[in-house]
Amino acid sequence: MGNMVKYLGRKIKEIRKSKGYTQTELAEKIDVDSKYLSRIETGLASPSLKTIEKLVEVLHADVGQLFDFSEYKDREQILEELTEKIKICPSENLKLILDFTNMMLLKKISRH
C-alpha cells in the first residue's frame, strides 16, 4: 500500500487515542471488525468511504483532519519502518544491526 494509506491509518490511530477509544471500542462504534481496524491503522488495509464517514462521525473529526498528513516527516517514516523491521528481525541479526549502526555513528562523528 502507498504512503497515503499508511498516513491515513496513522492519523486515524492518533485521533482514536486522543479521543480515548481502544481499537475494540472504536471498531464496535463504526461497526467493523477490530482486526480490520488494526489493519487500517497499520496501513495494511484501505478504509472504504463508508468507513471513513463513520470514523468522521464517531471521532467528531472532519475529513480534512483525517487527510492532513503535513506533520509526517521522512525521518519519522524511516524510524517507523526501521522499528517494525527490527521487531521481526531474527535475534542473531540484531547484533549485526547494532554493530553497523555503531560503525555508522563513529564514521559520522569522525567526519566532524
- Range of 62's domain? 3-66
CB 89 within 8 A of CB 96: no
pLDDT higher for 80 or 15?
15
10 Å CB burial of residue 36 (0-12, 13-18, 19+) is middle
* CATH code, domain with 55: 1.10.260.40
Cα(79)–Cα(84) distance, rounded to whole angstroms?
Answer: 9
**pLDDT per residue as tens digits for the range 17-49:** 999 999 999 999 999 999 999 999 999 999 999
**pLDDT per residue as tens digits for the range 47-105:** 999 999 999 999 999 898 888 877 776 677 778 888 988 999 898 888 898 888 888 88
Are 45 and 26 within one domain? yes
Are 10 and 56 within one domain? yes
- In whole numbers, what is the pLDDT of the chain averaged over residues? 88
Are 8 and 32 within one domain? yes
C-alpha to C-alpha distances, 100 to 7, 35, 76, 88, 92, nearest whole angstrom = 29, 36, 20, 18, 14
